[in-house]
Amino acid sequence: MQQLVFATNNRHKLEEVSAKIKGQFELLSLDDIGCIDDIEETGTTFRENASIKSHYIYQKYKLNCFGDDSGLEIDALNGEPGVYSARYAGGHGNQMANINKVLENLAGETNRKARFRTVISLIWNGEEHFFDGTIEGSIRTEPSGNDPFGYNPIFEPDGYNVTFAEISLEEKNRISHRAKAMDKLIDFLSTLS
């Protein structure tokens, strides 16, 4: 089975992607290849950040790999938090602080339209390929659900009356931005094998 490195140590993302790949490739994390480097996301777009990650791994380890960058874009906030989604409130990954900042910035706002966006950069045998996915929705006025990951407790996808934090992993893997980008990646990978 061919190895494919996902340039992340985020267990949540790894579980989502492993469920999508279903054993077509041996999916490896940064931990699995012994990479403890902090890959700086210095890009100003999701595409740039995804590309930074995949290029870093490919150049250092010479392994086929992909990196992704995802975030929440809110219309009333001119696309914020965008590429700064993970560190919107300052420190990286303080999810409740990020959620609270979004809710504060949207206080009194009637336009709550938003979307999650993912861009994947795959480097396969030295060639880069991009895949993207989005899911439209809106921002709730308060969090709900048991999945505290990212902005899931306040994002309600269009056509649902529950948040991403209240949807099963199976359903989320079918409709999410990452799922849509991954489906495109997997379709592409299936043409290689």
Catalytic residue set: 69
- Residue 143, number of CB atoms within 10 A of its CB: 18
Annotated ligand binding at 73? The verdict is: no
- What is the H or E stretch that residue 66 is in? strand 65-74
Q: Is 152 annotated as a binding residue?
A: yes
Residue closest to 134 by CA, chosen among 148, 152, 151, 114: 114
115 in a known ligand binding site: no
Q: Which two tokens stand for residue 92?
A: 């990286």
**Residue 26 annotated as binding site:** no
Residue 40 annotated in ligand binding: yes
What's the chain's Rg over C-alpha atoms? 17
Find out whether 178 is annotated in a ligand binding site.
Answer: yes
The order of strands in the sheet holding 113-124 is 26-28, 3-6, 65-74, 113-124, 127-139, 155-157
**Per the annotation, does 150 bind a ligand?**
yes
Please check if 117 is assigned to a binding site.
no
Q: Where are the alpha helices (DSSP H) in 23-157?
A: 46-61, 95-105
- Binding site residues, as ranges? 8-13, 40, 69-70, 149-152, 172, 177-178
- Binding site residues for Mg(2+), as ranges? 40, 69
- Binding site residues for substrate, as ranges? 8-13, 70, 149-152, 172, 177-178
